[in-house]
Amino acid sequence: MTSPLAAFQSALGLALLGQETCPIDPDSGGFRFTATVRRSWCEGRATIAARTVLALVPEVERRRLVAEYVDAGGGLAMFFPTENTAFLEFLAPRLPDPSHALSLCRMDQALARARLGAEVFAATPSRNRDRRSVLACLEHEAWGCIETATLESIDDEHIGSERHPQARPEDRPAQTPDPLFGFLRGSRDLRIEPESDGKRDRMVRDRIDHQAWGQIERSVRCSIERGAHAALVWFHADPESVLKALYGGPVPPVGDPSYPLLFAPGLPHLYRAATSDDVALWARLPVDDALVDAPVERLLAEGVIARAE
C-alpha cells in the first residue's frame, strides 16, 4: 500500500458512506463486515433516539423507517440530543395522522423545545414594571416636545417683537393647569417662564398630548403570540393510557383529538393539561391583546405566550 494511512482511512470511511470509490475490494469479507457493523450501529442509535415513538409503530413499518433514515445518512451523530432531534423531525411527516405514535413524536419534540427554552427563559415583566417604563417614556417625549417647540418658536418671537410692543407680564392671561404638566412636575420641576406667550404654551401642550397618548397606546396595546419554546400537542386518548402502553399495557383505540397538552419553559414540569380557554386562545394567536377577554398573565409567566417585540 503506497498511500499514507490517514488518506487510506479517509477514503475507506467515505466509501462506507457511498461517497467515494472504495480503496479496497468492496466485495471483500473485511469491507462487507465493516459496512454491516457500521449500519447496525447507526440503526441501533436511531432506534434508541426515538424508542418511545417507535414502540407504538408496527415492527415492519419500524424497520422500514429506520432503514430509510439510515440510508439518508442518519444515525451518525455522536451527540445524542442532536440525533434525537433529527430523527423525530424525519419521523413526524411519515407517521400516520392521527396516531398515538405521532402524538408521542410531537410530545418529544415539544419537551425538547421547552427544555431548551427553560435554560434562558425569563417571565414577562408585570404590568407594574411596564407602567414605570411608560411613565419614563412619557417624560422623555414631553421634554423633547418642549425643547422642539421652544427652538422652533424663536424666529416667530423675534419677528413678533419687531411688529408688536412687548406685553407686560401682568397683562398676560393666567396659565391653565394641565393634568399632564402636573404629572411631569412629579418627576421633574417643569416651569413655563413668564415671558412665554400663549401661542407657545398651546403648541407645547398640543405636542405633548399627541405624542404622549401615542406612547400610551403603543405601550398598552400590543400583540401577543405563541411562545418561541411552547407547543400544544393533541392526544387521541388519555395520555396516561398511551404512556402505559409503552410498558406493556393495552394500546387504547385512536379516537378524536380530545386531550390537549401544553408544553412551555415556564411550567414546573414543562407541561400541563390545556384548558378550553387555552386552546381557543392558542388557535387565535397572534392577536392584539386588547381583543383578548381572558387574563393572560399566567400564560405569559409560563412562557406559553409572549408579547411581540
**What single letter denotes the amino acid at residue 18?**
G
Q: Which residue did the predictor score with more confidence, 1 or 58?
A: 58
pLDDT at position 212: 62
Helical ranges in 78-126 per DSSP H: 80-91, 100-118
DSSP state of 177: P
Residue 205 reports pLDDT greater than 80: no
Between CA 197 and CA 189 the distance in angstroms is: 20
Q: For residues 301 and 266, is the Cβ–Cβ distance under 8 A?
A: yes
Total-model pTM:
0.64
| pLDDT range class, residue 264, cuts 50, 70, 90 | very high
Q: Tens digits of per-residue pLDDT, 59-79? A: 999 999 999 999 998 988 877
* pLDDT band at residue 179 under the 50/70/90 scheme: very low
Q: Are strands 223-226 and 305-307 parallel, antiparallel or unpaired?
A: antiparallel
How would residue 290 be classed by pLDDT, with cut points 50, 70 and 90?
confident
Per-residue CA distances from 177 to 80, 145, 153, 185, 201 (Å): 68, 18, 22, 11, 11
User: Where do the domains of the chain lie?
Assistant: 10-95, 127-219, 223-307
Q: Identify the residue with better confidence: 101 or 289.
A: 101
pLDDT at 235 over 90: yes
Say what the pLDDT of residue 197 is.
62
Across 146-174, average pLDDT: 54
